[in-house]
Structure 1
Amino acid sequence: MPLPSHTPAATPFDPASATIAVVTFNRSSLLTRLLASIVAMDPKPGHVVIVDNASTDDTTAVVESFRERIGTEIVYTRLDTNTGGSGGFSEGMRIAYDLGSTWIWMMDDDVEVLPDGLARMGAWAPRFKSIQGRRYDYDGSEFYWQYRIAEPLAIPIPFAPAGFDESGYKEMNSGCFEGMFIHRDIVAQIGLPDPRFFIYWDDQMYGWLASRKTTAVIVDEFVLRRTREIKQWDMGIRHMNASSNAYRYYIMRNRGYIKQYYRSLGVYNPVLFGLGTALTFGKEIIRLLFVERTVRGTSNLFRGIRDGRRIAKDRSWKPMPPLPRLQP
């Protein structure tokens, strides 16, 4: 498929300078699909880093089965414990950075890469240093990702315009580890993703931090496809996905970490941030009622609020440190 006309004229982009960093946990069948899609990529990245969050299935065997046929180097790390998506992506980015990668492309194991995905992302590399591509949903529809946050509230704007103009990109102030394509210079400045989040809000925070250092964009390029079906509530122009008790807990608990980051950067407004927390709580109640059709699970929200308050009161807390700017 030829690149669209709005794609900027590319100065030379070396695919070997990019690393795909994948986090997986007990989903070897999904990981198989992702690795098979990388086999079909043209061009391919210089490395594929796979961080295994202490899987107990046949993940290791699956990875080994692809070493000879994937067409690029696999760097596989199996962690001793499950550190959540946050810990996995932090470790994956650290490995990719230490490999000297200029570009790091983050993704979960429940997507597959379109064959020309790296070429499409690389075409934007001369202009931007924090780039988000688009993806197709499980059913082939165009997935809408909430690419902007209301900064004082620290929550996504659910109805930010979905369309693109002739420029082919829109500025964003958020991030999603399901497709974030980021330059090592930005990683050096803001440090690694914060593993303390465990799950949820970690990529939004990381994208927000990146947008404070560079012009971050989402581009009108479909580069990924989701391979896992998730229960949804169809709201017409938007969808709301099902969640879990663990997600409900961390959604509320991790507001404490966001509050600490906001304070450290001098943007914390207690009234507006509190409103954002209340809206987040309300959204999770709606998710329980209309997506999962239950009232069970609210205790996890309250536990998260309680533990988030403890985190916000921790005077010893510090943000993730910057990294040494070594040349690749």
Structure 2
Amino acid sequence: MTDIKVFAIVVTYKRKELLERVLFSLQRQTHALSKIIVVDNNSQDGTEELVESIRSRAEFGLVEYYNTMNNLGGAGGFEFGFKTALSGNSPFEYLWLMDDDLIPDSTCLEELLKTAKSTSSIDIIQPLRKNIDGSCAELSPVLYDLSKFWLVNPKRESVLQRMSRDDSLDTFKIAGIPFEGPLIPRELIIKIGNPNPKFFIFNDDLDYSLRAQKIGGEIFCNPKAVATRMLLNNQSNDLKSWKGYFMLRNHFYILRSYGKTFFVRNKPYAITFLLCLFYILKIDLRAAKICLDALTDSKKLSNNDIHKP
């Protein structure tokens, strides 16, 4: 497997201290990477200078730095990275996607490739994410049900819940990935294309998972491939921030696009009605308007520039 060429794509935005740790962890992989593509969403905080100083060391000659000149969000950043990888003269067999706060163990890529060897050429392999304290942080869905209207959350079971019942599991099938650590084969990318940049943040990874499964691709989680999140994944207050618009809008898009019944595809109207009623009763007209905007914009994933920070 030593001749398998893997490019890592790291999307970053104003986290240069964490990014430095990510780059060192990628350089220490037991399966050496062929290239590390750093996509900077125009951080303007010294990120470029940091990466250039790291690139000056002989062992980091495989690092390439690109500034998008705009904050494209995670979705746009990864689309930029995919395009960059595909446009180069150096061939690759897999892309390995990294957030700027994810530290893979030194054997992480090696373990992912072991699983990839035994699966099809369009399957995605996801590592197990952990928190700094060693607890499981992998919230990817094992089951994602888009057939039932009455489900509040289509995610019926997460990897965390599955692992809490049996932490001795070997590789098992899951229903979705985060763009934090998945190994994605070139053949799949050629078939389904790049991530959709219109998502900006949230559910761009779920959309990619659903597109992959639509053509017969499967997704597997290998618990032996471990990566550690440096920041806690706490979205409990996101609905009260600018992120709430993107969470709602993009969730509505997923329901509209991939709902398996007429009722699920039109569920965004019911959700919006209930949320607007709730916020109106609380005399929070601003929040009600955000819900209405999310519903309207979910048809085409429009108006990113109005709502992004």
- On the 8 A contact 1:44/1:71 being kept in 2, the answer is no
Give the CA RMSD over aligned residues: 3.1
Answer with 82-91 or 144-153: which moved more: 144-153
SS at match of 1:55: coil
Residue number among 122, 129, 133 corresponding to 1:135 in the alignment: 129
- Structure 1 residues 259 and 223, CA, compared in 2 at 3 Å: closer, same or farther? same
SS at match of 1:157: strand
Taking every aligned residue pair, what percent have the same amino acid on both sides?
25
Matches of 1:273 and 1:310, distance apart in 2: 15
Partner of 1:269: 261
- On the 8 A contact 1:254/1:308 being kept in 2, the answer is no
- Structure 1 residues 168 and 92, CA, compared in 2 at 3 Å: closer, same or farther? same
Deviation per residue, 1:8-50 (Å, 9 max, x gap): xxxx3534x1011110001101101111212322222100011
- On the 8 A contact 2:74/2:201 being kept in 1, the answer is yes
Partner of 1:34: 22
- On the 8 A contact 1:164/1:170 being kept in 2, the answer is no
Matches of 2:154 and 2:61, distance apart in 1: 38
Matched, 1:306 2:287: no
Partner of 1:286: none
Q: TM-score, normalised by structure 2?
A: 0.79
Partner of 1:168: 170
Deviation at 1:91, TM superposition (A): 1.0
Partner of 2:68: 79
Partner of 2:147: 152
- On the 8 A contact 2:268/2:295 being kept in 1, the answer is no
Deviation per residue, 1:279-302 (Å, 9 max, x gap): 79999xxxxxxxxxxx99994574
Partner of 1:62: 50
- Structure 1 residues 136 and 189, CA, compared in 2 at 3 Å: closer, same or farther? same
- On the 8 A contact 1:256/1:309 being kept in 2, the answer is no
Deviation at 1:77, TM superposition (A): 0.8
Matched, 1:248 2:244: yes
> Which amino acid counterpart does residue 271 of structure 1 have in structure 2?
F
Matched, 1:22 2:10: yes
Matched, 1:110 2:101: yes
> Which amino acid counterpart does residue 161 of structure 1 have in structure 2?
R
Partner of 1:91: 80
Q: TM-score, normalised by structure 1?
A: 0.75
Matches of 1:272 and 1:194, distance apart in 2: 22
Partner of 1:222: 225
Matches within 5 A, 1:113-128: 113-128=104-119
Deviation at 1:115, TM superposition (A): 0.9
> Which amino acid counterpart does residue 290 of structure 2 have in structure 1?
R
Q: How many residues align?
A: 279
> Which amino acid counterpart does residue 81 of structure 1 have in structure 2?
N
- On the 8 A contact 1:131/1:216 being kept in 2, the answer is yes
Listed as ranges, the gaps of 5+ residues in structure 1 are: 1-11, 233-239, 284-294, 315-328
